[in-house]
Amino acid sequence: MPKKYKNLINGRWADASSKETIESSNPANDSDIVGIVPSSGKKDIDAAVDAARKAFNSWRLVPAPKRGEIIFKAAEALVKRKAELGKLVTKEMGKVLKEGLGDVQEAIDMAYFMAGEGRRLSGETVPSELSNKDCKSIRVPKGVFGLITPWNFPTAIPAWKIFPALISGNTVVFKPSSYTPVSATVLVDIINSAGLPPGVLNLVHGLGEATGEYLASHKGLDGVSFTGSSSVGAKLASICALSGTEITCEMGGKNPIIIMHDADLSLALEGALWAAFGTTGQRCTAASRIIVHEKVYNKFLALFTAKAKKLRLGDGLKPTTDVGPLINEGQMQRVLRYIDIGKKEGARLMCGGKRAAGGALKKGFFIEPTVFADVAPSMRIAKEEIFGPVVSVIKVKSLKEAIDTANGTDYGLSSSIYTRDVNASAVAERDLNSGIVYINAPTIGAEIQLPFGGIKKSGLGHKEAGGRGGALDTFTTWKVVYRDFSGSLQKAQIED
């Protein structure tokens, strides 16, 4: 029988009050049930928010270095269980094992980074214009946060939110994706077991439209952090606007790689393959557009198509697998619809374009790596996020046209250029309209010590991860303190 998991509310593991459940299955074999989790309702969310609210007043007063010590213990525990959790991520989400392990490594990196922030959380001390007076700014926690995360990085993205929230002194109600709830539960168990007081970290499972929206609208929250699609992010932002709750959204992308005529084609080829088909294209930073200078277009297209045809589909736990399944039937059908749209729009199908369901693949949600050539920037497949192993290759005549094409969507998360021309790379760095720019590297591979996020429909509010402008700005607010120790009334800007 599949293992049953529970919600964590006020330090206790519990079923949903309704006793209803959700099954999580292996996308490489949908008859393989990974686990069963509660399908929570309003009563469960209310209890979790109430627990977090009660815990906040004491948790915010725990010295930040002490909070950091707990997070450090969680990091050490994650290191010890990396292999176990990486295999679970692969089994539940479908990505190949090396990516499943990388997913966990990101959580580890973030835990260590944020544990260190317990002895920083730095503000600013500046001189006063008056004698015997000092001035400073300090970070203070905002309160209770609702964290809502997607299925494609079931440990990394929750860690991006949970650890910054906790080190800042906030308490948390975490709602993971209902497609990868088991990985999230194990992560929460590891973090909670590091020594968190009851109610500081709460976990509530459930379906997005019911549980997620109710959590985002809850009057007991002080903030919401969401990662997912742009359409859901926009809906949650409107919900939070009505209640006056601050929200940060990290959303979708339609990320371009520009390949100029002077690029190292072998390097660009490997980068494009990794960015396009890594995680089966199910990354917000996946490269779904390859914009190629006309002088090398035909050569690159032939090499790229030949490489894509050789990628091996299969269960991510098998060492021979290059590309795993899509997350579920619904996502697979969405990708197939976009492939049909591309054909009808007149794009030239170079390879793939259909479901792979022979032999060991018949019980999973596999689509062949798909390459469209001669794609016009105005086509839907070049403008809309597909979130699957589908790539549009676009021909351009100049750097300016390449950058204009790259910028010509509603998204602005990640972009890349391959060129040996230092001046061209400088222009691209300046003019590419995205939150992240890579030079001679693919659109995936961000590091946790710098902010992560995009503009336009790719992002709303503060960024994720570390560095100036990163997640600590989501989970803290600034308090300015003026201390006058003169013993007399002094009036700033007023002359006696």
- Token match 């995360």: residue? 149
The closest of 74, 166, 79, 167 to 116, measured between CA atoms, is 167
- Determine the Cα angle at 316 with ends 311 and 319, to 5°: 75
Residue 46 clears pLDDT 90, i.e. is over it: yes
Point out the catalytic residue in the list 99, 117, 250, 385.
250
When pLDDT is cut at 50, 70 and 90, the band that residue 1 belongs to is confident
Please say if 135 is a catalytic residue: no
The pLDDT, as a whole number, for residue 235 is 95
When pLDDT is cut at 50, 70 and 90, the band that residue 27 belongs to is very high
- Bridge-partner residues for 351, per DSSP? 371
When pLDDT is cut at 50, 70 and 90, the band that residue 495 belongs to is confident
The pLDDT, as a whole number, for residue 209 is 80
Instruction: Compute the distance between CA of residue 82 and CA of residue 86 in angstroms, rounded to an integer.
Output: 6
Instruction: Compute the distance between CA of residue 456 and CA of residue 426 in angstroms, rounded to an integer.
Output: 22
Residue 329 clears pLDDT 80, i.e. is over it: yes
The pLDDT, as a whole number, for residue 388 is 98
Q: What DSSP assignment string belongs to 276-334?
A: HHGGGG-STT-EEEEEEETTTHHHHHHHHHHHHHHPPBS-TTSTT-SB---SSHHHHHH
The pLDDT, as a whole number, for residue 230 is 95
Instruction: Compute the distance between CA of residue 412 and CA of residue 456 in angstroms, rounded to an integer.
Output: 6
Percent of the residues in the chain that have a pLDDT greater than 90, as a whole number: 97
Instruction: List the domains of the chain with CATH numbers.
Output: 7-251+458-481 (3.40.605.10), 255-439 (3.40.309.10)
The pLDDT, as a whole number, for residue 125 is 97
The closest of 456, 478, 454, 479 to 464, measured between CA atoms, is 454
Point out the catalytic residue in the list 284, 351, 385, 464.
284
Beta strands 451-452 and 436-439 are unpaired
Instruction: Compute the distance between CA of residue 355 and CA of residue 352 in angstroms, rounded to an integer.
Output: 8
The pLDDT, as a whole number, for residue 210 is 86
Mean pLDDT of 296-308: 98
Please say if 249 is a catalytic residue: no
**pLDDT for 85-101, tens place per residue?**
999 999 999 999 999 99
The closest of 215, 195, 183 to 46, measured between CA atoms, is 215
**pLDDT for 447-466, tens place per residue?**
999 999 999 999 999 999 99
What is the maximum span of the chain, computed from C-alpha positions, in angstroms? 89
**pLDDT for 31-44, tens place per residue?**
999 999 999 999 99
Residue positions counted in the chain: 496
Mean pLDDT of 11-29: 98
**pLDDT for 359-402, tens place per residue?**
999 999 999 999 999 999 999 999 999 999 999 999 999 999 99
Instruction: State the average pLDDT for the chain.
Output: 97
User: Any residues with CB less than 8 A from the CB of 491 and at least 6 apart, and which?
Assistant: none
CA atoms within 13 A on the CB side of 309: 10
Residue 156 clears pLDDT 80, i.e. is over it: yes
Q: CB–CB of 96/448 below 8 Å?
A: no
Q: How many CB atoms lie within 10 A of CB 375?
A: 23
When pLDDT is cut at 50, 70 and 90, the band that residue 208 belongs to is confident
